[in-house]
Amino acid sequence: MNDGYSPRRWLYPLVLLACARLVVAGLLPLSPDEAYYRVWALAPAASYLDHPPMVAVWIRLGMLLVGDSAAGVRLVGVLAGCGLSFFVFRAVRDFVPDASPGRAGRACLLLQATLALAIQSVVITPDVPVLFFVSMLAWCMGRIVAGAGKRWWWSAGAAAGLAFDSKYTAVLPIAGIGLWLGLRVAWGQGPWVRRQMGGIAGALALGVLMASPVVWWNARHDWISFARQGGRTADWHPGRAFQFLMELVGGQLGLMTPGIAIFFAGGLVFALRRARTTPGAALLACMTCVPACVFAQHALGDRVQANWPVVIYPLLAVGTAGLGWRWGAWAAGGGIVMGGAVYVQALLAPLPLSAHADVALRQMAGWQELATRIGAVARTGDFIAACDYGTAAELATVLPGRTVLGMEPRWALFSLPHGATGEGIMVCNPRRDFARADFASVQPLGMVMRGRRGRAAEPEGLYRVRLRTDLPAARQQFIARLPVVPARRSWKGF
Instruction: Tell me the pLDDT tens digit for each residue of 129-159.
Output: 999 999 999 999 999 999 888 899 999 999 9
Instruction: Tell me the pLDDT tens digit for each residue of 347-367.
Output: 999 999 988 889 999 999 999
Burial 362-390 (b: 16+ CB within 10 A, else e): bbbbbbbbbbebbeeebeeebbbbbbbbb
Cα–Cα distance measured from residue 486 to residue 35, given in angstroms and rounded to the nearest whole number = 15
What one-character DSSP code corresponds to residue 320? G
- CB 261 within 8 Å of CB 252: yes
Instruction: Tell me the pLDDT tens digit for each residue of 69-110.
Output: 999 999 999 999 999 999 999 999 999 998 888 899 999 999
Cα–Cα distance measured from residue 375 to residue 487, given in angstroms and rounded to the nearest whole number = 13
Write down the pLDDT at residue 490: 41
SS3 assignment for 31-80 = CHHHHHHHHHHHCCCCCCCCCCCHHHHHHHHHHHHHCCCHHHHHHHHHHH
Cα–Cα distance measured from residue 270 to residue 128, given in angstroms and rounded to the nearest whole number = 26
The domain segmentation of the chain, as residue ranges, is 8-347, 363-482
Show Cβ contacts of residue 144 under 8 Å, excluding neighbours closer than 6 positions: 152, 153, 156, 196, 199
SS3 assignment for 412-451 = HHCCCCECCCCEEEEEECCCCCCCHHHEEEEEEEEEEEEE
State the pLDDT confidence band at 487, using cuts at 50, 70 and 90.
low
- CB 355 within 8 Å of CB 455: yes
Cα–Cα distance measured from residue 337 to residue 30, given in angstroms and rounded to the nearest whole number = 23
Residue 2 has pLDDT above 80, yes or no: no
Residue 273 has pLDDT above 90, yes or no: yes
Instruction: Tell me the pLDDT tens digit for each residue of 304-316.
Output: 999 999 999 999 9
Residue 494 has pLDDT above 80, yes or no: no
Do strands 439-452 and 479-482 pair parallel, antiparallel, or not at all (unpaired)? unpaired
Cβ neighbour number for residue 27 with a 10 Å cutoff = 15
Instruction: Tell me the pLDDT tens digit for each residue of 196-220.
Output: 999 999 999 999 999 999 999 999 9
SS3 202: helix
Cα–Cα distance measured from residue 246 to residue 263, given in angstroms and rounded to the nearest whole number = 20
Lowest mean pLDDT among 88-102, 408-422, 457-471, 478-492: 478-492
